[in-house]
Structure 1
Amino acid sequence: MSHPHPDFELYDNIDRTPDQVAAASAVTATRYDLRRWSLRDAEEFLARHPLPSAPLPRLDPGPYVAALAAAEKPAEVSAVTQHLLDAVYPTVRELSNLLLGIARWEGRHRSAAPDSAPKMLMSAASRCLDALALADQADMRVLRGEYDPAPQPPPPRPQPAQG
């Protein structure tokens, strides 16, 4: 039996991960295999278009954690929340835009099926921003409860005595 993967030997499960064993029995590649083959085939491209290999600068959570621990009022918690959202928004927006650009590459998104890679990428782009919008909405709900609560319903009218 000939196997389509260049570095696969049938029944060689020694030192393989459960993912690799499952992939071998399904005659498919693992995520690691796909990434490795893709990087090999993109070497020349990456040499011409170097991309940063270091992670983006990390957000320092210290000031937010300290401020949250000291917060005593909803307004103070909101200040922490809004500062955090403002700090991460530019990066999340750029991430969303890049994912959208990847999804739209060569117009593949136009006639793509709902469960296709381009549609998944478009959904991921949207969900990045959705997370921030949901956090903001939650913060506004807390502030509305604090500063603009819903009016209390009027007390029930006394019922006339039946008799």
Structure 2
Amino acid sequence: MLVVLLFCAVSAWLYWSAHTDDDLAYARARDQALAAGRTHLATLNSIDAKHIAAGLREWREATTGPLREQLRRDENKSADTLEERGTSARARVTDAALTGLDDTAGTAELIATVRITTTTRSGAPAADRKRMAAGLERTDDGWKLTSLAPVPVGEERG
């Protein structure tokens, strides 16, 4: 009986200490920021020419701060350009990593490689690979992108 009580007490203490561990909390924040960054990068590099308004709404929902404001300002112009070109794009993040995380401030920086397949009205699909850097901020709705910039080949980030 004593062994069982001792086992339960030790198990409870280990569970509690692991659950409240700062390193574990940091790792969770890192994993959440990375996953959200990957998802939102794919969203911001994808558009369906048949559903432009929905695509632009998804872009806004993936962002916050200055990037969201820029998308709002440019929305009509972007919609006109996308409709005129009639090009659809599907993006997939092939690799990504956080280059910075401030869990206390709720900010992160990410670098990623994105494969974008575009299809025009009359042409066959074409694929391109881009390197991108993004800033993220934790909001009440989770991590959102605050900035997005291409990283030229040969340029080191970090």
Please give the TM-score of this superposition, normalised by the length of structure 2. 0.23
Larger helix percent: 1
- Pick 1 or 2: higher relative contact order, CA cutoff 8 A, min separation 6: 2
Structure with max Cα Rg: 1
Higher strand share: 2
